[in-house]
Structure 1
Amino acid sequence: MESVTNLREMVLAQLRSRIVSGEAAPGTIYSVPAVATEMGMSTTPVREALLELSRTGLVSPLRNRGFRVEAATPKDLENQFDVRIMLEVGALVAIARQGLTDTKPLVLLADDVAGAVKSGNVTDYIETDRRFHEALVSRADNPLLTRTIMGLRADMRLYGISSPEGLERQRASVSEHYEMIELATTRQTEAIAALITRHIASWKPLMTAALRELA
């Protein structure tokens, strides 16, 4: 039998994927018992997962009803892109400046992203991409920076990620992950700054257009 923690993480990944991808539109109500029944588990891990999502602002609790998916605005998305680029450029430049070592764990995580893209599983892509970037930025040895970056990523609406254009962008991101490892290893600070900027910013037009369509 899986532990409550493992089940919570499974529910968290699935619900976050539905919300940030736009599959669960703003205003959608998630009832704890209904989600537990759908996923074939007790209510405890579901409640814990939804409470975690409420802490990031993706959902809000409703008394005696469950949790409501919150809306995002184009300005919210623009601000998130701007701040992510500033912070992630700083993190990766710091890593490249000191020189990345022990790259095997990162290569394995990049392989996981590639596998998710190959299988066409968007939920797996979102989760494996998150793990790769968390492991990479943590090499800057600044826990506050890592928490801030990952908090921004967790709250970011990835509308359009399942569209044909989104799937194409996922495929393009695979080689970029391996390139980040290479550039950080060879201490190419300017090149890695340009790469992570492009890696993040290339999603902006797609996601902004998808968000406006939902409005």
Structure 2
Amino acid sequence: MSPVPELPGIGPRENLRDRIRAALRAAIISGELEPGVVYSAPVLGTQFGVSATPVREAMLDLVKEGLVVPQPNKGFRVTEVSEEDLDNLAAVRLLIEPRAVRESVCAIPEDDFPGLRRLAQDIVDAAERGDLVGYVEADHVFHLTLLGYSRNPVLVDVVSGLRARTRLLGLTPLLQSGRLGRSAAEHHELLDFIQARDPVGAELMMHRHIGHVRGLWAGGAEGAT
């Protein structure tokens, strides 16, 4: 088993299992929990400041999502995703998300923008702290909240699953180079188009954003899809 990375402590929440699951999912997507490595629930629990039980329960949830595989008497192994798989995931997201954002532009009430701005700022703040797990989790919340305005829960569930299977191993080099903050700012740029009621601009921005997910943020070339 590999040494466990520094993970954020878990504060009091109504559903501890859900909170830990979200943090673990973000750690896997960002690469803080490494593909192919086995992690034990007791060790992760120590990092979170909780017992092994909610961590084990959260990991079992992630087994159903295909993010980890149980290893008897050892823990859970983080699944590996091929480049072909990542290409396919990005291709499906490009078919769904830009159009969904375009169609949601006129559905978002003006009074909701301060809340959406706060969610976008959470991503920027995480980047400034160098918190990759927090970055991925905040990004997840922002985009699913935005897609919620499509009033299509099936679409939101599908995108949530696609995002969970994505890997963003290029975030660490971005953080080290100081470029993660500029990438985080894209979320405010997307909101600028939406708040200006520019569906075409919002769609194009979302297309560019997903291109970064598969390219720059995944550790590949700028703009690859």
Taking structure 2 as the reference length, what is the TM-score of the superposition?
Answer: 0.82
Aligned to 2:145: 135
**CA distances 1:28-48 after superposition (whole Å, capped 9, x unpaired):** 112223322343322221012
Kindly indicate whether the alpha-carbon contact (under 8 Å) linking 1:13 and 1:123 is maintained by their aligned counterparts in 2. Answer: no
- 1:165, CA displacement in angstroms? 6.7
Kindly indicate whether the alpha-carbon contact (under 8 Å) linking 2:119 and 2:141 is maintained by their aligned counterparts in 1. Answer: yes
Write the distance in 1 (CA, Å) between the matches of 2:67 and 2:177: 23
Q: Secondary structure at 2:171's aligned position in 1?
A: coil
> Which structure 2 segments of 5+ residues have no match?
1-10
Write the distance in 2 (CA, Å) between the matches of 1:91 and 1:169: 28
Structural mapping, 1:103-182, within 5 Å: 103-164=113-174, 168=178, 170-182=180-192
Aligned to 1:93: 102
Q: CA RMSD in A?
A: 2.4
Write the distance in 2 (CA, Å) between the matches of 1:115 and 1:121: 9
Write the distance in 2 (CA, Å) between the matches of 1:113 and 1:60: 29
Kindly indicate whether the alpha-carbon contact (under 8 Å) linking 1:4 and 1:44 is maintained by their aligned counterparts in 2. Answer: no
After superposing on structure 2, the runs of 4+ consecutive aligned residues of structure 1 that deviate more than 6 Å are none
Q: Secondary structure at 1:179's aligned position in 2?
A: helix
- Compared with structure 1, are the counterparts of its residues 34 and 196 closer, same or farther at alpha carbon in structure 2 (3 Å cutoff)? same
Kindly indicate whether the alpha-carbon contact (under 8 Å) linking 2:37 and 2:77 is maintained by their aligned counterparts in 1. Answer: yes
> Which structure 1 segments of 5+ residues have no match?
211-215
- Count of residue pairs the alignment pairs up: 209
Write the distance in 2 (CA, Å) between the matches of 1:109 and 1:164: 21
Taking structure 1 as the reference length, what is the TM-score of the superposition?
Answer: 0.85
- 1:3, CA displacement in angstroms? 5.4
Q: Secondary structure at 1:75's aligned position in 2?
A: helix
Write the distance in 2 (CA, Å) between the matches of 1:92 and 1:118: 26
Q: Does 1:21 align with 2:22?
A: no
Q: Secondary structure at 2:77's aligned position in 1?
A: strand
Aligned to 2:84: 75
Amino acid at match of 2:84: K
Aligned to 1:213: none
Aligned to 2:210: 200
- 1:208, CA displacement in angstroms? 5.2
Write the distance in 2 (CA, Å) between the matches of 1:167 and 1:118: 12
Amino acid at match of 1:81: A
- Compared with structure 1, are the counterparts of its residues 192 and 39 closer, same or farther at alpha carbon in structure 2 (3 Å cutoff)? closer
Kindly indicate whether the alpha-carbon contact (under 8 Å) linking 1:161 and 1:167 is maintained by their aligned counterparts in 2. Answer: no
